[in-house]
Amino acid sequence: MSKLVPPYGSPELKPLLLEGQANREEAAKAQGLKKIPLTSRETSDLVMMGIGAFTPLDGFMGKDDWQSCCDDYKLPSKKGLFWPIPITLSADEDLAKSIRQAEEVALWDTETDALVGTMKVDEKYMIDKEHECKQVFRTNDPRHPGVQKVMEQGPVNLAGPVKVLSESYFPKEFKGIYQRPADARKLFADRGWSTVATLQLRNPMHNSHAYLAWIAIEVCDGVYVHQSLGKLKPGDIPADVRVKAIDALVNKYFRKERVIQGGHPFEMRYAGPREALLHATFRQNYGCSHLIVGRDHAGVGDYYGPFDSQKIFNEIPPGALATKPLCLDWTFYCYECGSMASMKTCPHESKAVIDGNGNYKGGARLLLSGSLLRKLMSEGKPVPAEFSKPEVIAILKQYYDTLQEEDKVEVKLHRAATGEMKPR
């Protein structure tokens, strides 16, 4: 009997990926079906359903579920089950009009030009994109990467149950790191873990990330370093480079029996608080009892307060999620303490001063963030030794040295990363 938290909304995982003969037969049938192009986000969501990470969903959401999810975090089709972000498939009007009620269609990944699934179209409906953005992202600003994605999608949503035929490029490109929920659960069970804290990462692991993970190991059986392998916004470090950097840090600075690395195909929405809830929801399917929620979890720019993603867990119905937030304070390197510290432990409040050569010039707190690390690296500026381990910096430097100037994207910092925003 597993001691891990149960799957979300279901007594067991519900993977929708067809295997063996069933897969081959469905793929053959799909060759004669109308093609529906999927964006990278929609393909990632389909794969998440395929591997059971979005248990208990059985397809893309209909209008009632979309509306209720946006407004009330509920799915009427699942008896009011809590769900924080819509999972939808869009199409342009002409294509939508050509599809008959209950018609079966082939789902086609536009990134890889490959068949990834089929769907029975039970419903077609127009959506209010601005309403979705305002509810999910708390903004309609087109500069927000999540808002931009929604505004670029087709005006009609197609809904219905899906059959998943492929995990896209994830198993091959990220062999050894990409995992299905059942894979992770087996690894945890084999080690006898019952409490597992997951560290969500879309950035290379700097010293603040490592510090959060070490704290979590003190209170849980182990930590699951769980990386986003889906497509990221421009300026973020590609997943393959990030995997190498995290490998280098974890393999040298963690006890191997207390940490497991994995990767998931989810594509970031950068929805801050709402996305933190979704991260916890699908981590329950992976068997994680806790989600580490630090400063600006799943955020971008200055759209969210530094701890909004922690506060939102107090606003949802009690018992909605078995996976609980492990809320950790603002962390940094303190030159006065001579170590990593947090707002709860460190009495030294002055901001550290670093010169243009990366040398310490005075003050106490050196604030660390993934965006600041990317900014320093992309601009060719020295990174203070206290910021990240040398093995990580070497891998990132090698990546940035290969970029042409026209490939570099300006990295804008959240005010919290610069120290301009007051801590709570």
Query: For each of the chain's 424 residues, which pLDDT tens digit applies?
Result: 679 999 999 999 999 999 999 999 999 999 999 999 999 999 999 999 999 999 999 999 999 999 999 999 999 999 999 999 999 999 999 999 999 999 999 999 999 999 999 999 999 999 999 999 999 999 999 999 999 999 999 999 999 999 999 999 999 999 999 999 999 999 999 999 999 999 998 888 889 999 999 999 999 999 999 999 988 777 778 888 888 888 899 999 999 999 999 999 999 999 999 999 999 999 999 999 999 999 999 999 899 999 999 999 999 999 999 999 999 999 999 999 999 999 999 999 999 998 888 889 999 999 888 777 878 888 888 888 898 999 999 998 898 888 765 555 555 555 554 544 344 4
Q: What is the pTM of this model?
A: 0.92
Q: Exactly one of 203, 207, 269, 295 is catalytic; which is it?
A: 203
Q: Which residue bears the tokens 């081959």? A: 24
Q: Exactly one of 202, 295, 365, 374 is catalytic; which is it?
A: 202
The whole-number pLDDT of residue 423 equals 46
The whole-number pLDDT of residue 39 equals 96
Output the six-digit token pair for 78.
């699942």
Distance of CA 17 to the CA centre of its chain: 21
Quick check: bond before 382 cis, omega within 30?
no
Domains of the chain by start residue, with CATH? 20-168 (3.10.400.10), 169-264+270-424 (3.40.50.620)
DSSP E strand boundaries for 63-201? 74-75, 81-82, 89-91, 104-109, 114-120, 123-126, 156-164, 196-201
CA distance linking residue 65 with residue 68, whole number of Å: 5
Q: Let me know: does 145 contact 136? Beta carbons within 8 Å.
A: no
CA distance linking residue 160 with residue 58, whole number of Å: 8
The whole-number pLDDT of residue 1 equals 63
The whole-number pLDDT of residue 421 equals 39
Q: Is residue 202 annotated as a catalytic residue, yes or no?
A: yes
Q: Is residue 140 annotated as a catalytic residue, yes or no?
A: no
